[in-house]
Amino acid sequence: MKKVLVVDDSQSIRNEVSDALGPAGFNVLQAADASEAFACLAKHQDISMVVLDVNMPGMSGIDVLERIQRERTDQVPPVLMLTTEAERSLVERAKKAGAKGWLLKPVKPQLLVSTVARLAR
C-alpha cells in the first residue's frame, strides 16, 4: 500500500484528504506543520507522495518543498501542492522547486485521487 503524507495545518483538510485517498488504497499519514512533516519523512523513507498546503503557520509549504528537495538527495517523493493560493509567482516558485502538481481548494475527491494515483511513485 502506497504511503501518502498530507501536510496541512487544518485537521479538517487532513481528514478530507484521508477520507478521499484511504478508500482508494493509499495509506495516509498526517502532519500539521513543517516540523511534523520532516519528522514523518525521516521516519518513513518509503513515502510515495506528499500533499502539501502552502499557507501554514511557521514555515510555508513552499519553504518545506524547497527544503525537501535540498535535503533528501536520495529519493525525493513527488509533491502535490493543495492550496487556496493561485498567485503566479508562488506557482512558478513551486514548479522551480520540483512540485509535480498544484491543486486549488476546495478539491473534488475524485480529482485528488486521480492526481495522486498519476503522480505517486
Helix (H, G, I), strand (E, B) or coil at 111: helix
Q: Select from 23-31, 40-48, 53-61, 69-77 the region that touches other proteins (CB under 8 A).
A: 53-61
Q: How far is CA 44 from CA 48, 81, 111, in A?
A: 10, 20, 26
We find the least distance from the C-beta atom of residue 94 to other proteins, in angstroms, to be 9
Task: Tell me the per-residue interface mask from 70 to 89 with other proteins, x by CB under 8 A, - otherwise.
Answer: -------------xxxxxxx
Q: 32 and 9 in contact (C-beta within 8 Å)?
A: yes
We find the least distance from the C-beta atom of residue 75 to other proteins, in angstroms, to be 22
Estimate the crossing angle of helix 11-21 against helix 109-119, to 10 degrees. Answer: 70
Q: Select from 35-43, 44-52, 54-62, 67-75 the region that touches other proteins (CB under 8 A).
A: 54-62
Task: Tell me the per-residue interface mask from 6 to 25 with other proteins, x by CB under 8 A, - otherwise.
Answer: ---xxxxx-xx-xx------
| 8-state DSSP, 98 | T
Q: Rounded distance, CA 21 to CA 69, Å?
A: 24
List residues binding other proteins (CB under 8 A). Answer: 9-13, 15-16, 18-19, 55-57, 83-89, 91, 95, 101-109, 111, 115
